[in-house]
Each structure stands twice: as C-alpha cells, then as structure tokens.
C-alpha cells in the first residue's frame, strides 16, 4: 500500500473507489462494498481516458483502486474485497478464509490468472488468434469443472450461503457466458455452475452493483456514492 493522493483527496478523507462498471474485478470490489454495508465514494472512469488523479494514486492504472481514509491505496481487487469485509462482514462472507480445509487464495488466483488468460483469448479471440478460440474455451471449461465439483447441495461454492468465492469468481464466469451466450445456453453442461451464475445475476446485490454511474469529473458538486 502506498500513500499517493491528490491534494483534494487529502482534504476529502473519505473512501474512494475508482471503478469501471463492466470490469469483473471492479464488480467483485463493489459487491464487497454492498455486502459490507459501508458507503463509499465511487468514481466511474473510462479506461480509454484515465483521469490523471487515478494514475497518480495508482500508476499501474488498473481498476478497481481504493483510496482509504488514512490515505493508503489498495490496488488489487481481492485485497479490496478483504479490506471491506474485514471492516464489516454481517453476512459472514469471509468465513471460508478461516477454514483450514479451504484454499481460497489458490482458487481465486486460479481464476484471476489461468482462467482469465483463457477467457481473454476466448472472448477476444480476434485480438489474439481466432484459430485457438475453442481451445481456450475448453481450457476455461476445465477450470470451471473444479468449481462445479465444489458447489454444495445448497448451490453455493462454500457452505449454504454466498461467500467470498461467489464474489470473486462469478463475475469472471459471467464474462465467460457473455463471450457466447448461445453456446453457453446450449452447450454448457456444468449445471451447478450455470444455476449458481443465474442466481448471482438475478440477485439484488448484483443489480445494485451494476447500477450506472456518470463518468467521474473532478467537481465536488458531482460526487457519487456506492451503493
Ligand atoms: N489484478 C487486478 C486486475 C485488474 C484489471 O485487470 N482490471 C482491468 C479492467 S477489467 C483494467 O483496469 N485494465 C487496464 C486497462 O484496460 O487499461 C485486480 O484484481 O484488481
């Protein structure tokens, strides 16, 4: 964590999330804010025209980025999730992290790295190599099998309620579905994953999380809050 805020942020001293509506990593961060019940200033930015204040706060310039009240910056979505729920977790979403039989970090990094690698090459195959599209879809599918095996009788990845697993993994699975909705509808056979994704998309939490915000401009009278 680094201490880099613009002078105006130093005066404001409130939580600020730099976000991008469709980004799966920003979605997970906003979901954690929703479940924490904490209110946070939200700055919806354009990834094609990143504001200088954002780059100053986080030179790696990926969303989401959280500016904390103590002026520290959190630049990784899973760290943002853990931070918000570490402050307030009325729904017990962090419980799997305290279970010695669970390797939450392993699963989430599997999705953030390997799954995302194949997802990008499947979803945006024209930017990579169209001839490899199906191969990457198959590889992503193999990773989704691991989650299908994990999903319990109650339909959740851990126990009988939503947890940090759904928050972090399902936004990426949604991208996999969006890459080719017709194929997903007809050929995706991991029924537990399919049902879990549908429940997630239909949830109040997801609807609130996908609310549209105006693009941020540095004007005090235009501050927006999430949720
Ligand atoms: N490991 C990062 C990944 C974040 C990420 O890759 N975000 C994408 C948007 S989905 C981004 O900001 N890309 C930079 C760009 O498009 O310029 C995290 O978990 O926060």
| Position 4 pLDDT exceeds 70 | no
Same domain, 74 and 119: no
Same domain, 198 and 212: no
Q: What pLDDT does residue 220 have?
A: 83
| Position 3 pLDDT exceeds 90 | no
Same domain, 199 and 100: yes
What is the percent of the chain where pLDDT is above 70? 95
Range of the domain at 67: 2-90+207-226
The 10s digit of each residue's pLDDT in 81-124 is 999 999 999 999 999 999 999 999 999 999 999 999 999 999 99
Calculate mean pLDDT across residues 186-198.
Answer: 97
Same domain, 68 and 160: no
Same domain, 78 and 123: no
- Residue 19 Cα to ligand 1 midpoint, Å, equals 10
Report which ligand 1 atom has the smallest distance to the Cα of 78. 19
The enclosing domain of 46 has a CATH number of: 3.40.30.10
Same domain, 41 and 106: no
| Angle formed at CA 124 by CA 177 and CA 146, multiple of 5 degrees | 45
Q: What pLDDT does residue 89 have?
A: 97
Same domain, 198 and 102: yes
| Position 196 pLDDT exceeds 90 | yes
The pLDDT confidence band at residue 70, using thresholds 50, 70 and 90, is confident
The domain tally of the chain equals: 2
Same domain, 185 and 221: no
- Residue 113 Cα to ligand 1 midpoint, Å, equals 12
- Is the backbone of residue 43 left (phi > 0), alpha (psi -120 to 50) or beta? beta
| Position 9 pLDDT exceeds 70 | no
Q: What is the distance, to the nearest Å, from the Cα of residue 107 to the centroid of all Cα atoms in its chain? A: 14
| Position 12 pLDDT exceeds 80 | no
Q: What is the mean pLDDT of the chain?
A: 94
The pLDDT confidence band at residue 223, using thresholds 50, 70 and 90, is very high
The pLDDT confidence band at residue 221, using thresholds 50, 70 and 90, is confident
Mutate to test the pocket of ligand 1, among 26, 50, 54, 62 (most ligand atoms within 8 A of CB): 62
Same domain, 169 and 99: yes
Same domain, 194 and 220: no
Calculate mean pLDDT across residues 65-90.
Answer: 95
Instruction: Kindly state if the Cβ of 120 falls inside 6 Å of ligand 1.
Output: no
């Amino acid at each position: 964590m680094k201490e880099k805020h613009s002078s105006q942020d130093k005066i404001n001293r409130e939580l600020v999330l730099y976000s991008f509506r469709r980004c799966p990593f920003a979605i997970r961060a906003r979901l954690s804010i929703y479940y924490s019940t904490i209110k946070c200033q939200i700055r919806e930015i354009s990834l094609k025209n990143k504001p200088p204040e954002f780059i100053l706060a986080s030179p790696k310039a990926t969303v989401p980025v959280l500016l904390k009240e103590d002026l520290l910056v959190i630049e990784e979505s899973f760290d943002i999730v853990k931070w918000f729920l570490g402050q307030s977790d009325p729904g017990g979403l962090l419980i799997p992290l305290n279970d010695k039989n669970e390797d939450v970090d392993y699963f989430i990094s599997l999705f953030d790295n390997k799954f995302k690698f194949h997802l990008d090459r499947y979803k945006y195959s024209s930017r990579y190599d169209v001839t490899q599209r199906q191969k990457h879809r198959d590889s992503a599918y193999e990773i989704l099998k691991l989650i299908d095996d994990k999903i319990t009788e109650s339909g959740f990845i851990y126990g009988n309620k939503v947890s940090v697993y759904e928050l972090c993994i399902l936004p990426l699975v949604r991208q996999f579905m969006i890459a080719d909705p017709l194929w997903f509808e007809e050929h995706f056979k991991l029924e537990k994953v399919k049902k879990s994704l549908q429940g997630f998309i239909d949830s109040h939490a997801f609807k609130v999380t996908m609310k549209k915000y105006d693009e941020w401009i540095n004007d005090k009278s235009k501050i927006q809050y999430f949720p």
